[in-house]
Structure 1
Amino acid sequence: MTNRPVEITLTGSPKEMGAQHGSLLREQIGNLAEIRCELLGRLYGLAALETAKLVAESMCSVMAKRTPEALAETTATARSAEIPFWKLLVAGAFSDISDVVSRTFRIKPNPHLECTLLPLRTSKGVVILGTWDSHASAVDSLILCRRQPASGPETLALSTAGWPMQQGVTSAGVGFAIANLVATTVSSGVSYIAALPHVCSGKSLAAVCKRLARVPHASARYYLICSESTQRSLEIIPGRQPGVTVDDLQCHTNHFTDAVTEQYEGRTSTIRTSRERQVLGVAFSEQSPWHASAEQRIHDFAQSAMIQRGQGDDDRTGAIFLITPASGDLHFVVPAPAGEDDTPEVVHRNISICREGE
């Protein structure tokens, strides 16, 4: 893989943006869908694919009521990419689909450790430093998507082929990032990746958080939302809306951190390692200079023990990113695979900020 993901720009109505996405990335979307469907079958058996179809149908029903514009956009993507919508959901919402399917077959959820998120107060305001981690076989699906809807804020985000956003910033000056959680419960709801286009259409941090808290989720999820001066962390438990807000700046590594939510922790087999990684993140935040450049922070973070370099089904860090909501900046690198001695170039992209009332 090169050190720069495919970059796309989408414009127009939700349906138009979805059709453009599917047409531009038809091959990448199809490849990711096949990789994820094959992995789902190996983890839970071939019957899991039929269950995944039923889960996708349930998600579609909720999306039609709660996030209709996101449904219009993503169904247009699937149609244009020439794959069934349920496969697009498996491809982009794999962790949520896997969580629900595992409960159906009474199998322990996938124990993999994934993204690390670290909010920092810097000379440029609150920033989000983090990793986008996935099964190594899916890392080639990473894209950079600039989205310019006919109405509402624009977005600039890293994501997986077929879906418009996972970690990024909006033209309203709101930064956003997500991390997986596994709770002891699942529910009828939408996937995080289908919720984000609706959530990020909010025109302020308060509006984004309000939308987020009202969307019913199928599986647990951690959201880090911030503006130049304010940060909000929400831990979502399926079936128990709204999410619990944690206001202090802290590193998050895929386990519940709030006293109210930690009783729902469903990934006990990895909780110790996850907390050890959180300690590393806290130590990094204390050592990170107040005036350090984005490039320096990313290169320093790349040397930390939280970066994963697995192959095949093992976890691998597909990107290290730094989001600066105040200026609309997104910096990122794609780390080299294990065994390769490489210092990748930091890629910088920007979105113009226009806050509500300006």
Structure 2
Amino acid sequence: MKLEIEEPPKIVLKGTPKEIGLGHGRQLRTQIHRQLAIYEEMFEYTAKMPWEQVRALAEEFRASLETKTPDLYAEMQGIAEGAERDLLDIVALNCRSEISFGSFEDGCTSLSWKKRADARVLAQNWDWTHMVKENLALMAIEQVGKPKIYMVTEAGIVGKIGYNSAGVGTCLNAIKAHPCVSSKLPIHIALRVCLESTSVEDALQRMAALGGVASCQHILIADAQSSLGLELSPLGDVHLKEDQYGIVTHTNHLLENRFVSEPPSWAPGSEARLDRVRELSHELVEAGVKGNGITPALLRDAVFSDMLNAPRSICSQPEPERHRTVRSETLFNIVMNLDLNDLRAEVVVGQPGSGMETAVLKMPW
């Protein structure tokens, strides 16, 4: 018998940037306060960094964000006001990947797949500390003159994993490599820039115009006509194209970007997960799966619930011996259908196929 677990809140935000932020902060106030407590403990454990030092580093990003992305800066001001927290706390949440300087160890597996010339499927398992699961939210954002956004995010964070009404979708894989440059875009801000874009090409142009990203990360981005694996870094980017099957896959290590150097074996299991997701997706191709046969249920069952090499499997399992702030596991799976005639996504919170996940959540809802 499947256990019922609590579904994340679904919130709709609209209006000016400040109004969107206020709604976010007020509706997710409890979750934002919990997130800040979690990250305070995580920074202390992983980097021996007290929260005041985190806030001091956040100030470097705050000054840049105010100038480069004033709308998102106003949104963060609104979140802070709505949640009754200081602005630097909210900036720190949105720059946590950069401030950590690679002390955190995300583990995610992402996949895009060409259904036909004008449609893509974009999917991933998102792995992170179990402590943040209760602070996830499904969010719809409506802004004048911009595509409508549907995403799954952590409370207090303005950009993450999802898609928009123009058919642009984003997935995220953390990468650990120096340097970090605070005058450039934090990765969660870059994700939001992508989700406000009208195509993959538009997103690339917008990020370039803003000076590129602050830290080394991978965004798997797709629209209906194309997909690219963006191995991003402050020193230069590399774009991974679809393979002969129309597929792009990625985990948590760089495949082709040689502008930066990764610490050896910083993400144990990443290479095995990459081999496995490629093996499983190619098996589906060889079995004749294509077009409308590439369904969310099939991907959850045949790929994203896979437990080979557990605990560091595609469906990541917790390691009890690790400190709770870094005890990573799969927290949700998302599968997006990027077809302008049928834009939608399915989300399960928890480990797909485990019996410990939510029922399928639909976007739009």
TM superposition score normalised by structure 1: 0.86
Question: Which residue is equivalent to 1:322?
Answer: 335
Query: Residue 250 of structure 2 aligns to a residue in which SS?
Result: coil
- Bigger mean CA deviation after superposition, 132-141 or 304-313: 304-313
Structure 2 residue runs without a partner (length 5+): 307-312
Question: Which residue is equivalent to 2:112?
Answer: 119
- What amino acid maps onto 2:177 in structure 1? A
1:236 pairs with one of 226, 232, 235: 232
CA distance in structure 2 between the partners assigned to 1:307 and 1:246 by the alignment: 24
Change (3 A) 1:199 1:121: closer
Question: Which residue is equivalent to 2:309?
Answer: none
CA distance in structure 1 between the partners assigned to 2:19 and 2:104 by the alignment: 38
Q: Using the TM superposition, give the Cα deviation of residue 10 of structure 1 relative to its aligned residue in structure 2, in angstroms.
A: 0.1
Query: Residue 248 of structure 2 aligns to a residue in which SS?
Result: coil
CA distance in structure 1 between the partners assigned to 2:190 and 2:80 by the alignment: 17
Question: Which residue is equivalent to 2:359?
Answer: 345
Question: Which residue is equivalent to 2:103?
Answer: 110
Query: Residue 128 of structure 2 aligns to a residue in which SS?
Result: strand
Change (3 A) 1:111 1:195: closer
Query: Residue 152 of structure 2 aligns to a residue in which SS?
Result: strand
Q: Is the 8 A contact 2:5 2:356 kept in 1?
A: no
Change (3 A) 1:195 1:292: closer
1:309 pairs with one of 301, 317, 324: 317
Change (3 A) 1:125 1:262: same
Structure 1 residue runs without a partner (length 5+): 100-108, 352-358
Query: Residue 307 of structure 1 aligns to a residue in which SS?
Result: coil
Where do 1:6-85 residues align within 5 Å?
6-45=9-48, 47-85=49-87
CA distance in structure 2 between the partners assigned to 1:77 and 1:21 by the alignment: 6
Change (3 A) 1:344 1:197: closer
- What amino acid maps onto 1:57 in structure 2? E
Question: Which residue is equivalent to 1:192?
Answer: 187
TM superposition score normalised by structure 2: 0.85
Residue 225 (structure 1) aligned with residue 221 (structure 2): yes
Large movers: runs of 4+ above 4 Å: none
- What amino acid maps onto 2:277 in structure 1? G
Q: Using the TM superposition, give the Cα deviation of residue 335 of structure 1 relative to its aligned residue in structure 2, in angstroms.
A: 2.3
CA distance in structure 2 between the partners assigned to 1:306 and 1:201 by the alignment: 29
Change (3 A) 1:33 1:271: closer
Q: Is the 8 A contact 1:111 1:270 kept in 2?
A: no
2:207 pairs with one of 204, 207, 212: 212
CA distance in structure 1 between the partners assigned to 2:328 and 2:195 by the alignment: 28
Q: Using the TM superposition, give the Cα deviation of residue 192 of structure 1 relative to its aligned residue in structure 2, in angstroms.
A: 1.2
Q: Using the TM superposition, give the Cα deviation of residue 191 of structure 1 relative to its aligned residue in structure 2, in angstroms.
A: 1.5
Question: Which residue is equivalent to 2:128?
Answer: 134
CA distance in structure 1 between the partners assigned to 2:240 and 2:317 by the alignment: 30
- Residues 277-331 of structure 1 show CA distances to partners (whole Å, capped at 9, x for unaligned) of 1001101211232214222222333421311131633101110111112132111
Residue 95 (structure 1) aligned with residue 102 (structure 2): no
Query: Residue 329 of structure 2 aligns to a residue in which SS?
Result: strand
Q: Is the 8 A contact 1:67 1:195 kept in 2?
A: no
Q: Using the TM superposition, give the Cα deviation of residue 230 of structure 1 relative to its aligned residue in structure 2, in angstroms.
A: 0.6
- What amino acid maps onto 2:108 in structure 1? C
Change (3 A) 1:3 1:92: farther
- Residues 111-145 of structure 1 show CA distances to partners (whole Å, capped at 9, x for unaligned) of 62411111112258221121111111112111100
Question: Which residue is equivalent to 1:287?
Answer: 283
- Residues 180-229 of structure 1 show CA distances to partners (whole Å, capped at 9, x for unaligned) of 11113111233111233333222232111211233342211111111112
Identity of aligned residues (%): 22
Question: Which residue is equivalent to 2:347?
Answer: 332
- What amino acid maps onto 1:274 in structure 2? S
Q: Count matched residues.
A: 336
Query: Residue 143 of structure 1 aligns to a residue in which SS?
Result: strand
CA distance in structure 2 between the partners assigned to 1:303 and 1:70 by the alignment: 35
